[in-house]
Amino acid sequence: MNIRSTPAGGHRIGSLLADFQPDFDFSAPLPLPVEEFEDRLRRIRRQAVEAGHDAIIVHAGSVGWFHASNAYLRYICDWMREGVLIIPTDADKALVLLSFFTQSVLLPPGGEPVLVDEIWQIGPIGREYSDRPGDSVIKTAEKCAEVLGNLGLAKAQIGRIGDRTSLTFWAALEDLLPKSKSVADNAILDRMQKIRSPREIEIFRAAAQLISIGTQAAYHVTKPGVTDHEVYAAFTLAQFALGGETGDGYQIGINEFGTHCGKPYGHIVRPGDLINLYISNVTYRGYTAQTARMIAVGDITKRQEEVLAACTEGVKRAEKLIRPGALMRDVNNAAFEPMIERGMLSSPEARTMPYNWAPMEDGGARLIPQQYVKDIDWEAQGRKLMHVYPATHGPHNPNLGHSVGMAGGQNSFNISSHNYDKMEEGMVFVLHTQWLEPLSAGGNIGDMYVVTKNGFENLSRHTPLETHRIAVEA
C-alpha cells in the first residue's frame, strides 16, 4: 500500500543529524535537594493547620502512556507515578504512600519518594487482569481508611487534593469513613507553586535549554524533501539524549498556511511551507518549558510576512515591561499593539477578541466550515481534508501567555487583559503571540521567562525569536 506521495526517509535521521552540534553547552542541574522537599512539607502542614485539616490526602491517577494524572505527588515527595499520599498534619507522624494500583507499572528510579517511610503496594487486580475478585480503586480506599483509622483520624477533617481521576476514590473513601469531613483543597499546593525557588528555576532553565537544543536540531535537518516525522524526530532525539523525559508534549504545524498545533502525519517539506514548532512541554526532572518558533522554507507570501512581523514584535514589546510590580494586564496589552496598529485587531481585551477556538457570539457551538482542502501528502494515504481549520481567524488564545510549571500541572495564572495581578520575583511563564487566518497566514512565536529582582531572564534565549529561514535553490 502506498501511504506517501514520495518515498519515505525515516532511515535517514541518523545521517541528517550526523554533524549536528548545538551552539551552546547544556547545564544539567542535580535533582532538588531533600531540604527543599522538607520545607514544602512544613508549609503544607502549616496551611493544613490554618484550614483546620487533621490530614491531607493527595491522589494522582494514571493516564495515557505511563503518566501520572497530576504533578502533586512529584511536587511533594518526587514520586513520578500514580499514588495516594497520606500526610498527617501532626509533624511527628510519618507520611504513608499507597501505590502500584494500576497496570501502568513503572519501577523507581527515577522517583524514589523522599520523606516517605511506608509504601504500600495495593496491586492492580480484577477478573480480566489477574482472575481475582475486587477493584483496585476500592482496595486503595480501603487501605487509606485503615491507615487513617490507625492514626486516630477516622473522625477527622480531611483535606483532599486530586483531579478528575480521583472521583471514584473519594466517593469510596467517604463511604468507608462516614464520620469524617472531607474538604477539597487543591489550592494549598496551587498557591505554593506560583513563586518558584532558585533551585526550581535552575531546572526550568535546563528544560528551556533542551527546547533550544531540540529546536536547533530541527533547524539542522529541515529542508525540502524531509518529512515532518523527521523534523519532529530530530527535535525529540536531541532533547531526549540530554535528559528530556517526554516526547509527546509538543506540536509541529507544517503546511503552506502556517498552521500550528499539529502533529506529524507524513507531510513532505516543500518550498513555500511555513512551519511552526509549538513546544508546549519539554520536561526535565518533572519541570517543563515552553516556547514557539517559526520556520519559513523559501519564499512566503506578503501577508504571511506581515503576520510573522506582528507576532515577533508583539513578544518584544511585552518583554520590555517584565519586572517585579508590572501589571500582567499591561504586559499582555503591549503584545497586541502591533496587531492593532496593522488593523488585525481593534482591542486587546480578551472579552471582545476573536480567537481560533471561539464559540459563536451568543456562546453557542460554532460549525466548522465544510470545504475540500488540498493536501497531497494526506491524500496519498487514502484520506481527504474536508474541513477548514481553524474555524475562524484571530489569535490561538485571547491572551498572551500563562504560567509554566510541572508536567501535568495546571496554569496558576494567565497573562491576559483581565489579570490585574502584579508580577513577582520567581514567577515563571511563557509569552507567545499567535495569529491564524484560515488557508492564508499564521504565526506562533514565544519565549519563556522568569521574573528576577531587577527585571527578567529569557530562559529560551539560545534560539532567536525571529523566523528561521531555509534557503531554497531556484
Q: How far apart, in whole angstroms, are the C-alpha atoms of residue 170 and residue 202?
A: 36
- Cα separation of 140 and 157, whole Å? 19
In the predicted model, residues of the chain with pLDDT beneath 70 are 1-10, 105, 109, 111
Which amino acid is it at 459? L
Contact 68, 408 (CB under 8 A): yes
Please report the pLDDT score of residue 110 as a whole number: 72
In this prediction, residue 2 carries a pLDDT of: 43
Distance between CA 77 and CA 112 in Å, rounded? Answer: 8
Residues, the chain:
474
Between the alpha carbon of residue 269 and those of residues 4, 13, 182, 273, 330, the distances in Å are 13, 15, 55, 7, 39
> What are the angstrom distances between the C-alpha of 199 and each of 30, 78, 79, 162, 204?
9, 14, 18, 25, 9
Under 8 Å between Cβ of 217 and 295: no
pLDDT of residue 8: 52
Q: What pLDDT does 10 receive?
A: 58
> Can you say whether the dihedral through the CA atoms of 300, 303, 307, 313 is positive or negative?
positive
Q: State which amino acid sits at residue 146.
A: E
Asked if residues 462 and 212 have their Cβ atoms less than 8 Å apart, the reply is yes
SS3 of 39-95: the string is HHHHHHHHHHHHHCCCEEEEEECEECCCEECCCHHHHHHCCCCCEEEEEECCCCCCE
Q: Are 147 and 96 in contact (CB under 8 A)?
A: yes
pLDDT confidence of residue 9:
52
State residue 64's pLDDT score. 76
Cα separation, 355 vs 348, whole angstroms:
12
Whole-number Å distance between alpha carbons of 404 and 459: 12
Instruction: Using alpha carbons only, give the angle 89, 92, 93 rounded to the nearest 5 degrees.
Output: 65
The reported pLDDT for the residue numbered 1 is: 36
First to last CA, the chain: 33
The residue among 309, 334, 217 whose CA lies nearest residue 258 is 309
Q: With the C-alpha atoms ordered 214, 242, 13, 8, is the resulting torsion angle positive or negative?
A: negative
CA–CA distance, 267 with 17 (Å, rounded to integer): 19
Q: How far is CA 431 from the centre of its chain?
A: 14
CA dihedral 318, 323, 324, 328 (to 10 degrees): 0
**Cα–Cα distance between 378 and 176 in angstroms, integer?**
54
Residue 228: C-alpha distances to residues 221, 253, 277 (Å): 10, 9, 11
Q: Could you give the 3-state DSSP secondary structure of residue 140?
A: helix
Task: State the angle between helix axes of 302-319 and 328-341 in degrees (0 to 180), rounded to the nearest 10.
Answer: 150
Report the relative pairing of strands 95-99 and 116-121 from DSSP bridges.
parallel
